[in-house]
Amino acid sequence: MKRPQRGFNLISLMIGMTLSLISILAMLALYKNMVGISVRSIQDAQQDGQVSAGFLTAQLEMRNAGFGMDLPISNSIVLLAGATLTNNTLRATNEYPQPVENTGNALVWVSQLSSTVAPSCAGLLAQDGQLFYLKGASSCTEIAHWRTTNWTSTVLVAAPKSPTDDSNYGNLQPAGFFKTESAPCWPFGKTETLTNRLKVIMTASISAKDSAGNAVKSVSEICLPNLPTS
């Protein structure tokens, strides 16, 4: 009597291989997504950390505006709109010597940190999705010198890197990065206030998105006690 055949036939083997291949492809797709999420999370954390650190550095530097000068605000600080730094030269489409209730992408100021040194120029610039700290040449001793001085720039917040699978990733810093207003304020959150001082509001884009897919803004306010607005 002929015994029945046992084991796998060709059809069973092909079905098994197909199911195994589908499982492998699914696991590879899951792995790719997990790697992409991990890379995105690292980039988001780096970008948000840079924004926080950049805000802190900007606040510390900006508090020097007008220090030791005893000058009117128009001779101590200037707000620029449409500002660009090209070949170490700063240019702007609009200039606000009385920077109250205006917005722009650059602030330039003068200060004299010690009686033994000459006044110096410094500034902040938001350009090409980045935030720069600017340092003027030693010849820059007045606010009017900002157009002619040779500026040295240091990146405080770098432009976010865009993954290859998302051309819309990353948020450029807004053209109105700086907003200025006159308000009773005092730095470091003290309850004591000074009337009619210049307050600067910085607004930066971070990695988070709202329900509409727009970039969430991080806002930082700083009071400049050396700059009375009236």
pLDDT at 126: 92
Within-domain flag for 19 = no
Return phi, psi of residue 197, to 5°.
-115, 155
Residue bearing tokens 């046992």? 6
Tell me what percent of the chain is helix, strand and coil, each rounded to the nearest 5. 30, 35, 35
Within-domain flag for 5 = no
Within-domain flag for 144 = yes
CA distances 164 to 15, 40, 151, 161, 169, Å, are 36, 11, 34, 9, 9
* Domain coverage including residue 124: 43-228
Q: How many Å apart are CA 160 and CA 74, to the nearest integer?
A: 35
202 beta partners? 178, 220
For 114, the token pair is 């010690």
For 14, the token pair is 């092909």
pLDDT at 192: 65
Return phi, psi of residue 208, to 5°.
-70, 150
Q: Which amino acid is at 59?
A: Q
How many other CB atoms sit within 10 Å of the CB of residue 200? 23
For 225, the token pair is 């006690």
Within-domain flag for 35 = no
Within-domain flag for 13 = no
Within-domain flag for 31 = no
Q: How many Å apart are CA 230 and CA 197, to the nearest integer?
A: 8
**Which residues of the chain fall short of a pLDDT of 50?**
163-170
Within-domain flag for 36 = no
State the pTM of this model.
0.78
For 174, the token pair is 């807004």
The Cβ-side half-sphere exposure at 19, using a 13 Å CA radius, reads: 6
Within-domain flag for 164 = yes
Cα 181–Cα 219–Cα 174 angle in degrees, nearest 5: 85
How many structural domains is the chain composed of?
A: 1
